[in-house]
Amino acid sequence: MNIFKKNTILIVEDEVSLRNALCDKFKREGFNVFEAKDGEVGLVVARKEKPDIILLDIVMPKMDGMSMLKKLRADGPWSKSVPVMLLTNLGADDKEMAKDIVEDELTSYLVKSNWAINDVVKKVKERLQNKA
């Protein structure tokens, strides 16, 4: 029996190349990785697998990230407490996004043009350490 629990992450991103790059990087960092191509699939996977953290794109087909986040947060105790990091191409000053994002200790966002994959891994690890 392995006494070291692997952290699990769900990556919800419609851009295939970015999703693959993030998945590969987190697997190399020792994470169990689940992935989804849109918010509909992401919500199903999140409810089933209950990952330790979710990376969530905002602009996606079928169900966008903000809709997925609202539905997820309404589910119950686990879904209210799981950390979510929103990935977006929108700037922090975008008024539409700003009014929808509830700034709390569980939800934060990263603007895609402002970071590299190593930065995302670092932020995810920091968030998981703070959660523990």
How far is C-alpha 14 from the geometric centre of its chain's CA atoms?
A: 12
Number of folded domains in the chain? 1
Average pLDDT over residues 66-79: 89
Q: What is the DSSP letter of 5?
A: P
Q: How far, in Å, CA of 65 to CA of 103, rounded? A: 15
Could you tell me if residue 2 is inside a domain? no
Q: How far is CA 83 from CA 1, 46, 61, 128, in A?
A: 27, 12, 23, 8
- Tens-place pLDDT, residues 28-37: 999 999 999 9
Residue 24 domain boundaries: 8-131
Is residue 3 a part of any domain in this protein? no
User: pLDDT band at residue 56, thresholds of 50, 70 and 90?
Assistant: very high
Percent of the chain with pLDDT over 90: 48
CATH of the domain at 75: 3.40.50.2300
Degrees, nearest 5: CA angle 23-18-65: 90
Query: Is the pLDDT at 65 greater than 70, yes or no?
Result: yes
* Total Cβ atoms within 10 A of residue 79: 18
> What tens digit of pLDDT does each residue of 81-117 get?
899 988 877 655 554 554 555 555 566 656 666 778 8
Q: How confident is the model at residue 55 (pLDDT cuts 50, 70, 90)?
A: very high
Residue 77 in domain? yes
In a domain, 112, yes or no: yes
Question: What integer pLDDT is reported at residue 19 of this predicted model?
Answer: 95
